Structure 1
Amino acid sequence: MFKRFFGEHGAKNVVTLFHKPNNEASTRILTLLKQANAQSVAHATEDQASSHQAQNEVEKTEFELDVTEEAPTGDQLKNILEYLGGSPGKVIQGASDESDALRRLKADSNTFQRPLVVDWNQGKAVAGENESEIMKLVRSIPRETKKS
């Protein structure tokens, strides 16, 4: 669903961090994502400045970082579980399957485990604070080249 809206017409990839400010791991991941985004924007600018070919081609490497403290909607949770290969216990505390996860989320949004990073365009997610997996996800964002 999100791919249809964001993956076409040159739009940036949207990466969402489900964040909890008083969670040290979540704050660390927010900093990591902000740095990764800033570096990708800086590299794109450096490439454009240093390459004559880059005058004809603009490489879009950055992503739009969406940070939310809200729990996901039911539809978002279904997508997230699909992206993770159906590991509901990683996302919703104590959940045994998708329907249990949806029920628990509806009953108490605090059962939702943060941090959780989602690349809606690629259909990928990383639950928890595994920085190397999150960077792998960010690095796998397709670079879009446009002819001007």
Structure 2
Amino acid sequence: MQDDQDSGAAPRFKPVPWMALENAADVELWIEEHNRSMQDNIGRHEIGYGVCFTLAEGGEIYMQTSADGAVILDVTPEAAWVAPLIMAAARVEAPAGSLWVLPDDKLIQLMIGLSSLIASSMLVVGHPFGRRRHYGGAR
């Protein structure tokens, strides 16, 4: 699958300004709205779908959930500064690379911790979660 930006087409999804999530109820509501949006806008044949959070201080975090409920985070090098927060919120050690795999019961704490750092969010498809990245062209 080729990225929309690589083909010169207008981006399919646009960034949405982030509204801070202050408690578990806010996160649960965001999860419901996000899931509904994904069901409405992402086809069954598409892979690598999730959400991209652009951080106000730099970098992106790509997030998806797996079929077994794990939370998968792909943290760009520019966002590596957020690792201590992820470790504290999820109570896990940092992985060797940029890919974090967290238990699903850590999602609410993670989102509350990250919320004040997020500038915008955007649905994504075709992101290489867990696969080697090849920038500058098709995978």
Report the TM range for the smaller structure's normalisation: 0.3 to 0.5
Question: Which structure: larger Rg?
Answer: 1
Q: TM-score, normalised by structure 2?
A: 0.33
Q: Which protein has the bigger helix share?
A: 1
